[in-house]
Amino acid sequence: MRSRTLIRAVAVAASVAALAGGTVAVASAHDDGTRSTHAWPQRLIDRSPDLVQPESLTVDHSIGQRRAAQEVHLAQQLYTFWNTGQQKYLDAAISPQFKDNTLPAGRPQGPAGPVFASKNFRTAVPDLTCELSDVLVTGDKITARMVFHGHFTGTFNGVQGKGQTVDFNAIDIQHVGTDKIIEDWHIEDNQTLMNQLGVNN
């Protein structure tokens, strides 16, 4: 319960930050683009079939269309990595000097960290997917809410899965440098995940 409350609080804070940054445009996957406030952010999304598509996109107009499009594309590349496990998308999104500011115990710092996490996660949940539910682009920050889906058919801490459904939220804040993501902060609803894996003691 505490993890869910914290995730909601981070999402609300991100929304407030977006509103404080200037004129904001919002788009969702179901918008038809007929309203001007929706058409602009829709044009920022890379529709390449290999990239994840944000379900909802909120953009601060004050950063300009070119910078906004760059940040949206970086988000799509990063979360395509989490959706597929393919390192080429991670390499395209984050700097070699990338720093994880909320580094979990046992995870290496830098770009090796997400690779390590993805590999271990997929050992437990081989069919893992990452739904990019919300993206907020404000200044040099990207805030994203993801929903991870899959089935625990692998192993986790020596426990063999029995096909349990995995469905939990995570929140990221990514700091974008000149051309790539240079650092992040993240929180996952680990309590829900552990309950779903059936490994809570």
Residue 21 has pLDDT above 90, yes or no: no
Cα separation of 99 and 97, whole Å? 6
SS (H, E, C) 64-103: CHHHHHHHHHHHHHHHHHHHHCCHHHHHHHEEEEEEECCC
Domain extent, residue 148, equals 2-197
Number of domains in the chain: 1
Whole-structure pTM value:
0.83
pLDDT tens sequence across 186-201: 999 999 999 999 987 5
pLDDT tens sequence across 36-70: 345 567 789 999 999 999 999 999 989 999 999 99
Domain at 182, CATH number: 3.10.450.50
**Buried b / exposed e across 100-124, counting CB within 10 Å, b at 16+?**
beeeeeeeeeebebbbebbeebeeb
pLDDT tens sequence across 136-156: 999 999 999 999 999 999 999
